[in-house]
A and B are shown apart, each in its own frame.
Chain A
Amino acid sequence: MDSKSLLEGSKLWVVEARIQLKSSLKDPEGETILRDLLHKRGVSGVEEVRTAKLLRFKVRSHSREDAESLIRKVCDELRLYNPVSHTCSVRVGEEV
């Protein structure tokens, strides 16, 4: 079977993978934004800033679950993050 017939009837999904330092770890960039930008400019009420990287994939697949598991697999196996220091959460957004 060629790839065209495989994907017949499929839809395009937006899948987002969010990679960030584990909450127990220090986040120097977030701290710097909080301390050197927000606090110095007199912004009050903000207690913490944490940074993250967001990867946005457009995935063609038959179901929402397939799209999600494909991206989960891609992130895990191709080492888009380091499980020792990061968490990676994957969620499927709207159908395009």
Chain B
Amino acid sequence: MRLVEEVAVTLTSEEREVVRKRLGREPNIIEWAVIEALWSEHCSYKSSRNILKMLPTEGVQVLVGPGFDAGLIDIGDGFVLSVHIESHNHPSAIDPYGGAATGIGGVVRDILSVGTRPVALLDSLRFGEIESSSHSRWLLRNVVKGIADYGNCIGVPTIAGELEFDQSFERNCLVDVMCIGAGRREEVVLPMATRPGCLVVLAGNTTGRDGILGASFASQSLDSDEEGKRSAVQIPDPFIEKLLIDALTEMFEQRLISAVKDLGGGGLATALSELAYKGGVGVDVDLSMVHRRETDMTPVEVLVSESQERMLLLVEGQKLERVSRMLEKYELQFSIIGRTVEERFVRLRWEGTLIAELPLSVLGDAPSVARASRRPEYLDTLRNTPPPREPEDLNKVFLNLLASPNISSKSWVYEQYDYEVGVRTVVKPGDADAAIIKLPNGKLAAVKLDGDSKKCYIDPYRGAMWIVSENFRNLASSGAKPCAIVDHQQFGDPGKPDVYWCFKECVRGVADYCMAVGVPVVGGKVSFYNEDLVSGRAIKPSPVIGGIGLLSDEDMVTTLSLKRSGDYIVVLGVTTGELGGSEYYEYIHRICGGEVPLVDPLSDWQLIEAVLNLRRMGVLRAAHDVSKGGLAVSLAEMAVRGRIGLTAELSKLPVRGRVLRRDGLLFSEGGSRIVVEVDRERFREAEMALRRHSVPFAVIGETGGNEISIKMNGEQVINLTVGEVEERWHYSLERLMEGYS
């Protein structure tokens, strides 16, 4: 049988030895399958967990940090917020529609696994150059459709996201989804088996051969078209997911379940083992009891199937009848497959016969894999890239930059999403730097995902710090104080010292930043092996940060559009001239290199507190962080969204370092900066507050008119009408995707 031969192929000979030693005998084929699933990189973090220890994970609001299916934050009044991030990169690369959709399904079930209900989704997507690659356009189109359809069917709004295009993602797109959940503190259950005598119930979808042989499938050529081939493709069924959400929510309210666990990578093998060893209680399960879609499945196939929309429930005996009635009410199929037991073993049976027996002590803690790490030599070359000559016509450069897929409005994407279902969405996508949702206790939270692989490629440490900085400035610009993050670290093969070094540096960047400002990391994910099988080239290092901030009240909500003519435009923070990884270098000059901006977490935090204070005082009308495209793009976005023009004088900007050229002042993404519109009549108050917060700032211009006019020492550099800018910025991505010019 082909499947049996392929079991345990990914374990190294050292790992096999450890298993034999811990067990004191040779495991049988089914036991190998369990260990292989559990000790995979995906489930065990064996190459990454020593590095992830650098991240600060504790805080007063943190109820549950990394290590479970989702992190939990106490938001007061007896309510909690849950958060998790997942990727579905490889499935999306071969089946963008189904891969992205099932990715959402998975992260939503992680939120359910801690006893909370999903309330919002965010997505972070990375593809190749869509201007030149029809393949990447096809991927983007179908990924967005997969997310939109699934999110719509399950009634969870997709409220924010982030999108980056770079050649390195041509064959390995990245599809990350973050989910926010909410619930009552007393309804929280954790995915672990803590007491013997509970029944193990498998609810939801039927178990089929989906996802089996995923790894070997991936290395086959994608153009083979055999009917009936066993397939790794998982077909999403959002209707069952919706029923699971509703049924579980009702069961949480009635306290009917002791634990819930999503079936993800490794299927039942992983879910059963994790429930058992996390809680320290054994399980005894008969796999033949599982409700199946195909009749001729082998025990191993049932064990490792990755069929979607399934969850394991642990139920006390006296509650079983109520749970059964509830599942029947929602027309969810289920099977009672076993029970938790005193003995600390995972026991698997088939029609009553014991087919596998593994002590919990063998299962937990896959041995850590020591990985070699070496700073890549290409970094020196990249860093020493000489600056390009400054173009004469910066007006033209600016228009071209606005049309870059990385900069132009992402409305083509988010207008396909149902972002308002559930009526929790307070500001619409694109209106503010972060999305804002209403929580069940009436409070507001801001959420945002950010990434910047171009910067992380040139300087992983600085790049990762810059992403956290941008994320926090986004939250603050929307009126929220950052309170926790999740991180998703995505790289190539960790066996390559260059790749592993980049991974370490990215985690160190996130850790140093969060440690300095005291914001905990409550969860995350690592995805390795994002490499092109043909060329062996890895993706650019891609940490993605999902930040959560809380708003003290509704008046704090801040949008980015200019509100009124005659107000002051104030830039908070110092402008620094590093252009490495900037869209200006990459898109306009096709330069990959230069110096990546270095951010200072402590001055960022002063800036964040200052912005929040200005808003609280009521003197701040709009706020927008300076990120991709630099100051010029930030100003343009504020003007376009508000349909009000502005004037700005670049020489007034507080700068650090050498005298900056005009292109640096316009397009640098350096420094930690936020642009704000300040009420002209109350500028004195704002000025005094900013001094108190020791935040460098300057009034660089005024709002009004219908032109965006930017000067340097009185000389015109950029002069365009708001309409001309809008035409470029708002429609470029749509034009590209819809194929009209």
Contact B222 A22 (CB under 8 A): no
Contacts of B96 in A (CB 8 A): 82
Interface hits, B221-243 → A, CB 8 Å: 222-225, 227-231, 233, 235-240
What is the distance, in angstroms, from A60's C-beta to the closest C-beta of chain B?
24
A93 on interface, CB distance cutoff 8 Å: no
Q: Contacts A79-B138, A82-B97, A84-B233: A24 and B209 contacting too (C-beta < 8 A)?
A: yes
B609 on interface, CB distance cutoff 8 Å: no
Contact A83 B222 (CB under 8 A): yes
Contacts of A27 in B (CB 8 A): 235
Contacts of B206 in A (CB 8 A): 26
Give B195-216 as 1s and 0s: 1 = Cβ < 8 Å from A's Cβ atoms.
Answer: 0000000000110111000000
B482 on interface, CB distance cutoff 8 Å: no
What is the distance, in angstroms, from A88's C-beta to the closest C-beta of chain B?
8
Contact A23 B227 (CB under 8 A): yes
Contact A85 B233 (CB under 8 A): yes
Q: Is the interface of B mostly helix, strand, loop or mixed?
A: loop
Contact B237 A26 (CB under 8 A): yes
> With the chains together, A53 CA to B293 CA distance in Å?
23
Q: Contacts A83-B222, A83-B225, A84-B94: A25 and B230 contacting too (C-beta < 8 A)?
A: no
B98 on interface, CB distance cutoff 8 Å: yes
Give A78-93 as 1s and 0s: 1 = Cβ < 8 Å from B's Cβ atoms.
Answer: 0100111101000000
Contact A26 B293 (CB under 8 A): yes
Contact A28 B222 (CB under 8 A): no
Q: Contacts A24-B228, A26-B210: A83 and B223 contacting too (C-beta < 8 A)?
A: yes
> With the chains together, A32 CA to B235 CA distance in Å?
14
> With the chains together, A31 CA to B307 CA distance in Å?
15
Q: Determine which of A23, A24, A26, A82 lies in contact with B95 in the assembled complex, contact meaning CB atoms within 8 Å.
A: A82
Chain A: which residue is nearest B309 at the CB level? A28
Count, chain B residues at interface, CB 8 A: 31
> With the chains together, A22 CA to B95 CA distance in Å?
13
Contact B223 A22 (CB under 8 A): no
Size category of the binding interface on chain A: 10 to 19
> With the chains together, A23 CA to B210 CA distance in Å?
12
Q: Determine which of B209, B224, B235, B331 lies in contact with A85 in the assembled complex, contact meaning CB atoms within 8 Å.
A: B235
Contact B237 A28 (CB under 8 A): yes
A21 on interface, CB distance cutoff 8 Å: yes
> With the chains together, A31 CA to B208 CA distance in Å?
14
Chain B: which residue is nearest A83 at the CB level? B225
> With the chains together, A27 CA to B236 CA distance in Å?
9
> With the chains together, A84 CA to B227 CA distance in Å?
10
Q: Contacts A79-B138, A84-B95: A28 and B227 contacting too (C-beta < 8 A)?
A: no
Contact B227 A87 (CB under 8 A): yes
What is the distance, in angstroms, from A34's C-beta to the closest C-beta of chain B?
13
> With the chains together, A85 CA to B98 CA distance in Å?
9
Q: Determine which of A21, A23, A32 lies in contact with B228 in the assembled complex, contact meaning CB atoms within 8 Å.
A: A23
> With the chains together, A50 CA to B289 CA distance in Å?
27
Contacts of A22 in B (CB 8 A): 227-229, 231, 233
What is the distance, in angstroms, from A93's C-beta to the closest C-beta of chain B?
22
The 9 closest A-B pairs by CB, nearest first: A28-B237, A26-B235, A85-B233, A84-B94, A84-B95, A25-B235, A85-B95, A24-B231, A83-B225
30 A–B contacts, CB within 8 A, in A order:
A22-B227, A22-B228, A22-B229, A22-B233, A23-B228, A24-B227, A24-B228, A25-B233, A25-B235, A26-B210, A26-B235, A26-B237, A26-B293, A26-B307, A27-B235, A28-B236, A36-B331, A82-B95, A82-B142, A83-B223, A83-B225, A84-B94, A84-B222, A84-B231, A84-B233, A85-B95, A85-B98, A85-B231, A85-B233, A87-B225
Q: Which residues of A contact B (CB under 8 A)?
A: 21-28, 31-32, 36, 79, 82-85, 87
Additional 19 contacts, C-beta under 8 A, given A22-B227, A22-B233, A28-B236: A22-B229, A22-B231, A24-B209, A24-B227, A24-B229, A24-B230, A25-B231, A26-B210, A26-B293, A27-B235, A31-B237, A32-B239, A36-B331, A82-B96, A82-B142, A83-B223, A84-B222, A85-B233, A87-B227
